[in-house]
Amino acid sequence: MVIVLKPKTQREVINSLIKTIEKKGITVHETIGENYSILGLVGDTSQLNQEQFEAHDCVERAMRVQHPFKLANKLFHPEDTIIQVDDVKIGGGNKAIIAGPCSIESEEQLLTIAKAVKESGANILRGGAYKPRSSPYSFQGLGEEGLKLLKKAKELTGLPTITEAICLDTIEKVAEYADFIQIGARNMQNFALLKKAGQYNKPVVLKRGLSATMEEWLMSAEYIMAEGNHQVILCERGIRTFETYTRNTLDLSAVPVVKEMSHLPVIVDPSHAAGKWSMVEPLSKAAIAVGADGLMIEVHHEPECALSDGAQSLKPEKFNKLMKKLNAMAL
């Protein structure tokens, strides 16, 4: 950690601050500049509270040099994490294609779509049973009934499944029926839910929050990992910016950046970012080209009747064409 002192701070004030820091077992190196002096702190600075330092009248600001996450940090775990469910591997060069409807609506709907995406080459089936909706008057999902259908779809297709856990009361059911637990963007800093997800022996797909920095995203992964579950997959799904033509701005730079900082796999959800099906193909190709470990794509055979996210869902034929193009890119 580096502490920048305010100009003209008196010697005794600096000495007193240094003593406070040294009491915590930290060594302090002082660099005296013409206007600003700085303190370089050496030792286990992860225990230090940056805000306490900034509360001192003499401190201009305190800056961390090292990322605050450890278990998710590539510095300490240089090897790529590979996550496996059944025969499907994600990370370390293995790519996941997760496809399916936004919401599970009926047995016929889910099975129709499941069969179609499997035939086109998807290797994981998605489908929401508990839906986080911005309006209390919108369809909230089929609940456990949906989870049962998801299980049936797996029996039929053999595809491992993923569905979202939206609260402490339902995550147990999600873990019981599905192979992957999804944590949605709006819950990325629902710390109680993250801790709970860390207590299952199931991979967790953690979506990036709409306004989460990459460091905050990795800190949320750290919450899950700190509970003992190291199977975390990060999912970029667009951030909120001033641009409103696309629903969110897909931040594809996040893929190589996060891969520099962490050993965890990173996948991309182009459907939610764009909010428009015509954007899904170009953004999927870009996501693969930028180095993502997989894609999560919404597919619906009757998007005009979908109970959620119809506008961004690909029809099965379009998904099939997309898969062919991705394969041609040597996916």
Structure tokens at 217: 């995203």
Report the candidate in 279, 272, 329, 273 with the shortest Cα–Cα distance to residue 126: 272
Strand (E) or helix (H) holding 5 = strand 2-5
Q: Does 93 bind a second copy (CB under 8 A)?
A: no
Q: Of the candidates 15, 84, 106, 138, which one interacts with a second copy according to CB under 8 A?
A: 138
87 or 169, CB closer to a second copy? Answer: 169
Cβ closest to a second copy, residue 36 vs residue 152: 36
**303 near a second copy (CB under 8 A):** yes
Q: Which of residues 178-197 bind a second copy (CB under 8 A)?
A: 186-187, 189-193, 195
> Position of tokens 């459907």?
271
Q: How far is the CB of 302 from a second copy (least distance, A)?
A: 9
Residue from 92, 119, 289, 324 touching a second copy (CB under 8 A): that is 289
Contacts of 200 (CB under 8 A, 6+ apart): 171, 175, 181, 229
Other beta carbons less than 10 A from residue 128's beta carbon: 27
Determine if residue 8 is left, alpha or beta; phi over 0 gives left, psi from -120 to 50 gives alpha, anything else beta. left
Q: Which is nearer to a second copy, 179 or 236 (CB)?
A: 236
Q: Which CB atom, from 154 or from 300, has the smaller least distance to a second copy? A: 300
In the complex with a second copy, the residue whose CB is nearer, 130 or 154, is 130
Select from 112-120, 133-141, 151-159, 173-181 the region that touches a second copy (CB under 8 A).
133-141
Give the shortest CB-128-to-a second copy separation in angstroms: 13
Q: Which of 286, 318, 320, 331 binds a second copy (CB under 8 A)?
A: 286
Q: How far apart are CA 291 and CA 276, in angstroms?
A: 23
Query: Could you give the angle at which helices 214-226 and 254-261 cross, rounded to 10 degrees?
Result: 50
Number of residues that bind a second copy (CB under 8 A): 105
In the numeric block, the tokens 């800056």 are attached to 63
* Widest distance between CA atoms in the chain: 76
Binding a second copy (rule: CB under 8 A), the pick from 276, 317, 324, 327 is: 276
Distance CA 289, CA 277 (A): 19
The smaller minimum CB distance to a second copy, of residues 65 and 86, is found at 65
Binding to a second copy by CB under 8 A, coded x per residue (else -) over 53-92, reads xxxx------x-xx-x------x-----------------
